[in-house]
């Protein structure tokens, strides 16, 4: 991996560290680094995948979310429409080119992120998109991801926080399309859901 990736990581780290971004003190260690680590675990299984493209996507896939939060002075954005997403993807593409990545590489990375954002037919997407989508989904079942909602929205009614979280757990699970990760994280998915419900397990 060359210096361009290191520079990209540093830029994303600096943007995340801005206190106007709600997740500024945990998003690197407890999300983006985990996404990269999972990508690095599965890349050797898929030699046809471009490792540089995969890792660049891992670090830039939440660019819009991070920058939008900072630019809106820390307000939660209710209105994440198509135009908003397209604007931030094109800003991210320009950033990749500025860092010295080829234009084709930057276009491909952001086309892939568009597919990832749409969350439709991910199992038919190209291999880099499948790896990053799957790693993104699995990363939420590792560490503090779901626990941070409780800290960040302490006044939210319990029923709402649990119902919203269960919906998100299922959405995250639908992003996992690689069979190796599905098999490995099945138990983590079920455990995360179990911790958000008052229904006991069925006896075996």
| CB 65 to Fe ion: min, Å | 8
Asked if 91 and 70 count as a contact pair (C-beta separation under 8 A), the reply is no
**Helix or strand run (H / E) with residue 22:** none
Q: Which is nearer to Fe ion, 100 or 147 (CB)?
A: 147
Integer-rounded Cα radius of gyration of the chain: 17
Q: Residue 87's CB: how many other CB atoms inside 10 A?
A: 14
Report if residue 62 touches Fe ion, rule: CB under 5 A.
yes
Asked if 63 and 32 count as a contact pair (C-beta separation under 8 A), the reply is no
Q: Which stretch binds Fe ion (CB under 5 A): 20-28, 62-70, 122-130, 174-182?
A: 62-70
* Nearest by Cα to 90 from 47, 194, 98, 124: 98
Report if residue 36 touches Fe ion, rule: CB under 5 A.
no
| CB 58 to Fe ion: min, Å | 9
| CB 110 to Fe ion: min, Å | 15
Q: Which is nearer to Fe ion, 62 or 117 (CB)?
A: 62
Asked if 122 and 130 count as a contact pair (C-beta separation under 8 A), the reply is yes
Report if residue 136 touches Fe ion, rule: CB under 5 A.
yes
Q: Which is nearer to Fe ion, 33 or 184 (CB)?
A: 33
Structure tokens at 10: 């540093």
Q: Which is nearer to Fe ion, 102 or 147 (CB)?
A: 147
Binding residues for Fe ion (CB under 5 A)? 62, 136
């Amino acid at each position: 991996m060359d210096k361009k990736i290191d520079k990209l990581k540093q830029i994303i780290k600096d943007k995340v560290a801005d206190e106007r971004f709600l997740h500024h003190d945990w998003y690197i260690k407890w999300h983006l680094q985990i996404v990269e680590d999972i990508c690095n675990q599965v890349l050797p299984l898929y030699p046809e995948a471009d490792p540089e493209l995969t890792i660049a996507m891992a670090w830039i896939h939440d660019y819009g979310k991070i920058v939008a939060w900072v630019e809106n002075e820390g307000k939660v954005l209710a209105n994440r429409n198509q135009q908003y997403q397209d604007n931030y993807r094109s800003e991210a593409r320009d950033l990749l080119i500025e860092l010295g990545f080829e234009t084709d590489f930057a276009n491909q990375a952001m086309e892939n992120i568009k597919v990832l954002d749409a969350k439709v037919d991910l199992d038919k997407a190209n291999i880099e998109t499948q790896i990053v989508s799957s790693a993104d989904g699995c990363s939420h079942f590792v560490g503090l991801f779901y626990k941070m909602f409780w800290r960040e929205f302490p006044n939210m009614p319990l029923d709402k926080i649990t119902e919203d979280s269960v919906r998100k757990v299922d959405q995250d699970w639908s992003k996992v399309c690689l069979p190796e990760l599905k098999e490995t994280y099945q138990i983590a998915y079920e455990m995360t859901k179990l911790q958000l419900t008052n229904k006991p397990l069925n006896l075996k």
